[in-house]
A and B are shown apart, each in its own frame.
Chain A
């Protein structure tokens, strides 16, 4: 690969500037790498906050009866756990990877709209504060009742909750604004900032996954914003969108929520699948199998994923025609998702595979995510879902989809690119200990929940029948190991940032792509001279 200098009369190289010093570097940053780092640090912080709430939930469920939490606080924690993990941890972490890697991968000097990028990231702490306030306000005099709706915020319950619901609605608005701004930035960057000669069908799959994700975000987040705005109006301004007494219908909110909520699943999963598309060819030392079909599958997932939302609400009483349509659509979506999984398996087929930590995560993800997909097909079937709905089986299903499909993919990405970001190799032995502890304890935590769900244990209930005790004890013990294992992840990251064996520019032997042409760590301003692609 050769490079050529494009001079816009600036007079000197951008590397000459170097990073600004002190707090200003972070507060006023327009640099995609710094903003990516801020996203990742924020996400890690929220991961521990969401994890702490999960530990409290599992501590309560350790034994039947009321142990530590009263029922309202339990439901408040359930609500906050979901919102923190989805909006605070997974989405910002994926945005962090996007900020760091997309400009490096497409040969762009930065994101297309750097100041808007700064705004997107700095909205997040304000939103997190609002989210925190929604949790703690009920504990103060006059603070009203706790949020006991779950993350779905269904009325009429959400219309009856105290002022904490208003804080939550504003938090969702802020998080939505941040996501939409980041998505616009990503799409504009991909469309307009690619290196000269890089065609769309030559972009790395990670960039494609983010293009699809960003489009999904700007299509569905405004609908959630519309839904919660109507909720706010019903609560304070006398409207009756969702109030039956005023001629409204609470079920309408469910449709609005899941029009956002179902594509949100793909929003969480696709960036991680993009990470896998980078990792698997590297460690299988083979080109990615079926590039064009992967792009097609993602576009199909986006299109079909937007029109199958009501499978989350079969039990609400829709017409037979409607539930049949949503069932068939949901099952059809397993075709493009399965295609992505099979493409990754075909990439590994007869490859010279080695199993460094990112590859271990990649293989584990394919196995565990496929299992989550299998229980997803069970839940898609209307008569079966009537039995499974709102049981612990659903909890087990979506944790098998979202932990491997989203969170583990992000962990894999962090291990894969951490040497590139920091210039230091991480401790492979510790990373493998983290992998095995994490994956084994995850399975012991969530696998038994399938059985207790099928046996009839409902979710979002603080107490349970004594017949479910054994599996809950196992689940809680493993959950504590799972939660604590993330401290090891934190230690590995801090250790790598502080030092370690120096990483080469091409950190992994089989790695291909523009990002590996830059030194590790890349200069503060990279690709100031546009790369010329070899033909």
Chain B
């Protein structure tokens, strides 16, 4: 089985979903730097 065996429409859907998920991964990676630091500060600055 290789990619060429997938019908073109299905192949487009597969690649589109993969890129969307890759964007989500990148988002989580990048935001782990400043965003979680802010959340942590919220957690430690409570009453």
Which A residues contact B (CB, under 8 angstroms)? 8, 10, 14, 30-32, 109-110, 112-116, 180, 183-185, 187-188, 191-193, 218-223, 225-227, 230, 249, 251-252, 255-256, 259, 310, 317-322, 525, 528
Which of B1, B39, B46 is A320 in contact with, Cβ under 8 Å?
Answer: B46
Docked complex Cα distance between A302 and B25 (Å): 16
Docked complex Cα distance between A320 and B44 (Å): 9
> Which residue of chain B is the closest to A310 with respect to CB atoms?
B43
Do A225 and B29 touch across chains, with their CB atoms under 8 A apart? yes
Docked complex Cα distance between A329 and B37 (Å): 21
> Which residue of chain A is the closest to B40 with respect to CB atoms?
A255
A-B contact number at CB 8 A: 104
Most buried by B among A32, A222, A252, A317: A222
Docked complex Cα distance between A113 and B30 (Å): 25
Sample of 7 more A-B contacts, CB < 8 Å, known A30-B2, A319-B43, A321-B46? A14-B1, A113-B14, A114-B1, A180-B25, A187-B21, A252-B37, A321-B47
Do B40 and A114 touch across chains, with their CB atoms under 8 A apart? no
Do B26 and A31 touch across chains, with their CB atoms under 8 A apart? no
Which of A112, A114, A319, A525 is B46 in contact with, Cβ under 8 Å?
Answer: A319
A112 in contact with B21 given A8-B5, A223-B32, A318-B43 (CB within 8 Å): no
Contact bitstring B23-47, A, C-beta under 8 A = 1, else 0: 0111011101100110110011111
Do A110 and B1 touch across chains, with their CB atoms under 8 A apart? yes
Query: Chain B residues near A317 (CB, 8 Å)?
Result: 44
**Main secondary structure on chain A at its contact with chain B?**
helix
A192 in contact with B14 given A255-B40, A320-B47 (CB within 8 Å): yes
> Which residue of chain B is the closest to A259 with respect to CB atoms?
B36
**In the assembled complex, how far is the CB of residue B25 from the closest CB belonging to chain A, in whole angstroms?**
5
Query: Chain A residues near B29 (CB, 8 Å)?
Result: 222-223, 225-226
Docked complex Cα distance between A374 and B31 (Å): 35
Query: Chain B residues near A322 (CB, 8 Å)?
Result: 43-44, 46
Query: Chain A residues near B2 (CB, 8 Å)?
Result: 30, 114-115
Do B44 and A227 touch across chains, with their CB atoms under 8 A apart? no
**In the assembled complex, how far is the CB of residue A408 from the closest CB belonging to chain B, in whole angstroms?**
31
Do A192 and B17 touch across chains, with their CB atoms under 8 A apart? yes
Which of B17, B44, B46 is A188 in contact with, Cβ under 8 Å?
Answer: B17
> Which residue of chain A is the closest to B17 with respect to CB atoms?
A188
23 contacts between A and B (CB under 8 A): A10-B5, A30-B2, A113-B14, A114-B1, A180-B25, A187-B17, A187-B21, A188-B18, A188-B21, A191-B17, A193-B14, A222-B28, A222-B32, A223-B28, A223-B32, A226-B32, A227-B32, A230-B33, A249-B40, A252-B37, A255-B40, A322-B43, A322-B44
Query: 7 nearest interchain CB pairs?
Result: A226-B32, A319-B46, A222-B29, A110-B1, A321-B46, A222-B28, A223-B32
Docked complex Cα distance between A219 and B32 (Å): 11
> Which residue of chain A is the closest to B32 with respect to CB atoms?
A226
Query: Chain A residues near B5 (CB, 8 Å)?
Result: 8, 10, 14, 109
Docked complex Cα distance between A113 and B45 (Å): 46
Do B21 and A192 touch across chains, with their CB atoms under 8 A apart? no
Docked complex Cα distance between A371 and B33 (Å): 37
A256 in contact with B1 given A8-B7, A222-B29, A226-B29 (CB within 8 Å): no
Docked complex Cα distance between A110 and B28 (Å): 29
Query: Chain B residues near A115 (CB, 8 Å)?
Result: 2-3
**In the assembled complex, how far is the CB of residue A234 from the closest CB belonging to chain B, in whole angstroms?**
13
Query: Chain A residues near B33 (CB, 8 Å)?
Result: 226, 230
Query: Chain A residues near B6 (CB, 8 Å)?
Result: 112
> Which residue of chain B is the closest to A256 with respect to CB atoms?
B36
Do A525 and B1 touch across chains, with their CB atoms under 8 A apart? yes
> Which residue of chain A is the closest to B45 with respect to CB atoms?
A319
Docked complex Cα distance between A279 and B32 (Å): 39
Docked complex Cα distance between A112 and B5 (Å): 11
**In the assembled complex, how far is the CB of residue B29 from the closest CB belonging to chain A, in whole angstroms?**
4
Query: Chain B residues near A14 (CB, 8 Å)?
Result: 1, 5
**In the assembled complex, how far is the CB of residue A231 from the closest CB belonging to chain B, in whole angstroms?**
12
Query: Chain B residues near A319 (CB, 8 Å)?
Result: 43-47
